Structure 1
Amino acid sequence: MRTAVIGTGIMGAGMARSLAREGHDVVVWNRTAEKAEALVGDGISAAASVAEAVSGVDVVLTMLFDTDAVLAVTEDVARASGDAVWVQTATVGPDGARRIAEAAGDAADRMLDAPVLGTRKPAEDGALVVLASGPAALVERAQPVLDAIGSRTVRAGERLGDASALKLACNSWVGLITAGTAQALALAQAQGVDPQLFLDAIDGGAVDTPYAHVKGAPMISGDYSAVSFALDGVRKDLGLMVSAAEAGGMSADLLRTVLGLYDRASESGHGDEDMAAVRTAFDG
C-alpha cells in the first residue's frame, strides 16, 4: 500500500521504517524537514508539503504531538487525500478526537481513531499495540498498515474517540508505574539503602513489572538521555487524563498529584528527557 506518514518524531519515524520494511511505499512529511529527509531511502520518500505527501495514497497516518498539531494539518489532509483511510494515531484524548473529526468534515467518514501503545523500540520493531475505533470496514482496509506498525490491534468500538479514551486509561498506568518506581527508588536511597535492591527484591514476584526495570535503570544511573517517551509528552497526556476524568465525574486527585511530579521534573529542565527523569522530582 502507498502510505503517507505525517509527523516523523520518535514514534512516526519508527512507524515509517516499519512500514517500509514490510514492503509499503512510504512518503513522509514533518514540520521540521530535516527529520523527514533523514528517512529518505529504503522505500521512503520525503514530501515538501502535507498535501503533496497525502496525494494519491491508500492510507494517511498522522502521528503528531497533540490535538493542535493534528488540527494544523487537518484541512490539507482532508482536501488532498482523496478516499484514503485516515489513521489518526496521535494521543489526543476523546475530546481531541471529536474536535479533529469535526474539523475534517466529510473526511471524518474515512477516519480511524487509532492511538498506539509502545515507545521508541516497539515503533522501530513494528511491535506497537494499535487501539482502533471506527467503522469495521475502515479497519479492514487499513489492516495491512496496522499489521506493519503493530503486533496486534485491539478494537475499542465503532465510535471515534473510544480508542483515544482507552489510550488515556493505558497511559495513566504507564505514568503511575513510572512515578511509583521513582518513589520506591528514592525512598530506598533516602534511607541509605542501595536502590538497586528494590528492583532485585520485586524481580519475578507478583508485584513485579518489566517497566519498573526498564525505567528503574536510568533512574539509578541518572542518565535520561535515551528518550523513548519524553517527559513533557507524559505531562501532556496526564493533562488530558485530568480533563477526561473530570468530564466523566470521577475524582482526578491521584492524576493531579502525579502530574505535579512530572511538572516539577520538567521545571527542573528535564522536559525533553525520558520520562524516567520524574525520579528528579523526589530530590530534596
Structure 2
Amino acid sequence: MIKAFLGTGLLGSGFIRAMLQRGDTVQVWNRTTARAQALETFGAKVCSEVTDAVSGAGRIHITLKDDASVDEVLEAARTGFAPGAIIIDHTTTSKEGAIRRTAYWKEQGFTYQHAPVFMGPANALEASGFMLVSGDEAVMDGLKPELSVMTGKLLELGPEVGKAAALKLAGNAFLVCFAFSLRESVAVAKSLGMSASDMAGLFQNWNPAAQTDARLKRLSGEDQDQPSWELAMARKDTGLFLEAAQQAGVPLTLLPQIAPVMDAWIEKGFGHYDWTVVGRDLA
C-alpha cells in the first residue's frame, strides 16, 4: 500500500524514516519542498504538489501545525485522494476541529481518524512513546495493526469523537505547567543560594513525579479532611518562597498566582484540610 505523509517537520520526518525502514512506499509533501528533500536519501518520494503526494495512497498521514493548516492542506489535496483513502491526523488540534473534520470527511466519502501523540522526533523514529485514538471503534480496530507499529503504546480511548484531541491538549497543559514548575523551583533555589544542579541532585534521590497518580486521585477525592499536608501549612511555605524570591530579586511566575487561590480556600474554612482541596471545584 502506498502511503502519503503531509508535513515533514521534526516529528513527521521521524515517522517517515521509520515507515521507510519498515519497507513502506511513502510519498511526502511539505509546504517548503526543500525541507523534505533530505528524505529522498532514505527512499521517500518527494512531491512538490500535495495532490501528487496523495495520489494512489491508501493512507494519508498528516503532521502539521494547527486546525487551520490541516483544513487548508486537506482541501488542497482532496482532488488527488484515492477512493477509500483514510486520513490519519497526528497534529495537535482543538477538540472541536477533530470532531468537525471527522464528520466533514465522512460526508465527502472518506475516513478521518485523529491520532495525536505524546512523541518527539526520536520517539517517531524508534516507534516509542504514546499515540491516542478515539471514535468509531470499527475504524480504530481496522487501523490498530498499522498504528501500533508507529508507537510504543496505542491508547484506545473509546467511541467518543474528539476525546483523543481533548486529552492530548490536557496532557500538553500538564507538560507546560511541569516545565514552568521546574523553572519556579530553580528560581526559589536560586534565591536561597542553591543552583539547578543542586535541584537535580535532590530529584535524583527524591522523585516528586512519582507522586503524580496519588496526587491526582487525592485532588478529586473525598478524603481531603484527612490531611497529609494542611493547606494552611502549604500556604505558610508558599509565603516563604515568595519572601525569599522577593529579597533576592528573583522573578517568579506561578507562585504569585497560586497564593491568592490558597487564600481563597482558607477563607472558605478549608485551612486544615489537605492542600489538594484547592482542586475540589474542578473534580
Instruction: Give the alignment's TM-score, normalised by structure 2.
Output: 0.69
Deviation at 1:103, TM superposition (A): 4.8
Deviation at 1:102, TM superposition (A): 5.0
Alignment match, 1:66: 66
SS of match in other structure, 1:41: helix
Alignment match, 1:140: 141
Does 1:190 find its partner at 2:195?
Answer: no
CA contact (8 A) 2:51 2:78 kept: no
Q: Which one is further off, 12-21 or 190-199?
A: 190-199
Alignment match, 2:130: 129
| Residues 89-238 of structure 1: pairs in structure 2 closer than 5 A | 89-101=90-102, 103-104=104-105, 106-107=107-108, 109-208=110-209
Which structure exhibits the higher relative contact order, with contacts defined as CA atoms closer than 8 Å and separated by 6 or more residues?
Answer: 1
Does 1:20 find its partner at 2:27?
Answer: no
One-letter amino acid matched to 1:104: W
Q: Distance in 2 between matches of 1:81 and 1:151?
A: 29
Alignment match, 2:277: none
Per-residue CA distance 1:125-154 (angstroms, 9 max, x = gap)? 221311011223322333343133211110
Q: Distance in 2 between matches of 1:175 and 1:45?
A: 36
Q: Distance in 2 between matches of 1:203 and 1:12?
A: 33
Alignment match, 1:56: 56
Q: Distance in 2 between matches of 1:167 and 1:202?
A: 27
Q: Distance in 2 between matches of 1:164 and 1:108?
A: 22
SS of match in other structure, 2:113: strand
SS of match in other structure, 1:69: helix
CA contact (8 A) 1:75 1:103 kept: no
Q: How many equivalent pairs are there?
A: 213
One-letter amino acid matched to 1:140: D
| Higher Rg | 2
Aligned CA RMSD, in angstroms, stands at: 2.4
Query: Judging changes above 3 Å, is the alpha-carbon distance between structure 1 residues 2 and 145 closer, same or farther for their aligned structure 2 residues?
Result: farther
Alignment match, 2:33: 33
Structure 1 residues without counterparts, runs of 5 or longer = 210-253, 259-284
One-letter amino acid matched to 2:37: E
Q: Distance in 2 between matches of 1:127 and 1:203?
A: 24
Query: Judging changes above 3 Å, is the alpha-carbon distance between structure 1 residues 118 and 53 closer, same or farther for their aligned structure 2 residues?
Result: same
Per-residue CA distance 1:15-70 (angstroms, 9 max, x = gap)? 11111111211111000111111111333111121111111112111100001110
Q: Which one is further off, 94-103 or 78-87?
A: 94-103
Q: Percentage identity across aligned positions?
A: 27
One-letter amino acid matched to 1:18: A
CA contact (8 A) 2:85 2:110 kept: no
Structure 2 residues without counterparts, runs of 5 or longer = 211-252, 258-283
Instruction: Give the alignment's TM-score, normalised by structure 1.
Output: 0.68
Query: Judging changes above 3 Å, is the alpha-carbon distance between structure 1 residues 45 and 127 closer, same or farther for their aligned structure 2 residues?
Result: same
CA contact (8 A) 2:2 2:25 kept: yes
Q: Which one is further off, 129-138 or 55-64?
A: 129-138
Deviation at 1:6, TM superposition (A): 0.5
One-letter amino acid matched to 1:149: M
